[in-house]
Amino acid sequence: MTARDRSLAQATEVARGLVGGAVEVSRLMTGGRNSRVWRVHSGERAFALKQYPSLRNDPRDRLSTEIGALRLMERYRINSVPRVLGIDGERGYALLTWIEGTAVSEVRDEDIDAAAEFLSTIHNLRLTPWAAEQRLASEGCLCGLEIERQIGVRVARLRDLAPEPGLGDFLEHSIVPAFLRMSRQARAQMAAAGLDFTAELLQEWRSLVPSDFGFHNCLRRSDGTLAFVDFEYFGWDDPVKLTADVLLHPGRPLLAPQRKRFREAATRLYGQDTAFSRRLSAYLPLFGLRWALILLNEFIPERWQRRVYAGQAGDWADVKTRQLEHARQFLASLPQKVED
């Protein structure tokens, strides 16, 4: 039996137990880049069976994080997300309601507005009694120093790899000089605004955020409305990071007018914190640099194995070549994106 057959057999066994009857399971090759998503049929009913990476391979408890977030949203009747129907925690699976929809290939203005409205609803959850149960968002960035640290860790990890064509040159002659320049500029901007680059953001200005949020994690339903999926990184964070990620996410690039529209919506939403806009302006280039490094994750063997686990196909060497070029182009376009 091949590894694929064993995976399908286990998913079928888990689904049968969670559904409580006969099931038919098929693999969705378009699932997330780290987790597997299986479509499950039982009679006329359809479900999503999500299989999360083992904690042996990734210490972040993605399953518990997503389940906690979805249950919090269900408690407050947020209907544009999946519902949790069952969990097999021992083997790392969750059975979710199936949302029929297609990938958002073209972002519309009304999608920007819908995303902002959804984030507003999530933001309001921070005031509920159950919000205190939520953990810090994965790779949360509560101060400028933490953004610098995360970038430094990513650079060091890539430097430690065996030599790869073009990678070392890009790191040393493009990424590192940009990092030094952007850090100086961010620190200067924060100081000029009377803000502390090194101090963690006070709890009152933090928000609950679906980290890694963007239109790559949306489905367009038949009526044109959006559903939102993938809350494995949900938690408390500076909403500046969330805003930066939506503005800059390379998976679903926004046009300049759309970036402006979303930035204005985020400023209205989070603007009770009078320093929000100043932090966003100071940190945006650094978050962009962080994204350029994330695009290079495919060079890291264990990250590539996660992609394969989640269903990504293709020759590893070809993927690395493509991602390096993507990172080059993204970094070159960054000044325009942060100045819009």
User: Per residue in 33-82, pLDDT tens?
Assistant: 568 899 999 999 999 999 998 777 667 799 999 999 999 999 999 999 99
Domain 105-339 has CATH 3.30.230.10: no
Instruction: Give CATH 3.30.200.20 domain extents, the chain.
Output: 3-99
Tracing tokens 């610098």 back to the chain, one arrives at 148
Rg over CA atoms, the chain: 20
Q: Is 124 helix (H, G, I), strand (E, B) or coil?
A: helix
Could you tell me the maximum CA-CA distance found in the chain, to the nearest angstrom?
64
The two tokens of residue 268 are 């209205």
**Which residues contact residue 6 at a Cβ distance below 8 angstroms, ignoring those fewer than 6 apart?**
none
Q: What is the rounded distance in angstroms from the CA atom of residue 213 to the CA atom of residue 120?
A: 13
Q: Provide the pLDDT for residue 192.
A: 98
How is residue 253 annotated by DSSP? P
User: How much is the pLDDT for 5?
Assistant: 75
Span 219-223, average pLDDT: 95
pTM of the model: 0.91
Categorise residue 44: left if φ over 0, alpha if ψ from -120 to 50, beta otherwise.
alpha
So what's the pLDDT on residue 6?
Answer: 83
DSSP reduced 3-state for 46? strand
pLDDT at residue number 35? 80
- Report the DSSP beta bridge partners of residue 305: none
Q: With CA atoms as reference, report the closest residue to 63 among 29, 39, 34, 97.
A: 34
Could you count the other beta carbons within 10 Å of the beta carbon of residue 309?
Answer: 18
pLDDT band, residue 167 (cuts 50/70/90) = very high
- CA-CA-CA-CA torsion sign (76, 90, 88, 57): positive
**pLDDT tens readout for residues 272-308:** 999 999 999 999 999 999 999 999 999 998 877 767 6
In one-letter notation, the amino acid at residue 71 is R
Q: Please tell me the distance from the alpha carbon of residue 282 to that of residue 298, in angstroms, as a whole number.
A: 29
Query: To 10 degrees, what angle do helices 301-310 and 316-339 make?
Result: 100
b/e map 51-61, b = 16+ CB within 10 Å = bbbeeeebebb
Q: How confident is the model at residue 8 (pLDDT cuts 50, 70, 90)?
A: confident
Q: In what order do the strands lie in the sheet with 102-103?
A: 102-103, 218-220, 226-228
CATH annotation of 3-99: 3.30.200.20
Positions of CATH 3.90.1200.10 in the chain: 105-339
According to the model, what pLDDT value does residue 31 have? 47
84-88 and 102-103 as β-strands: parallel, antiparallel, unpaired? unpaired
Residue 241: pLDDT band (50, 70, 90) is: very high
Model confidence at 313: pLDDT above 70: no
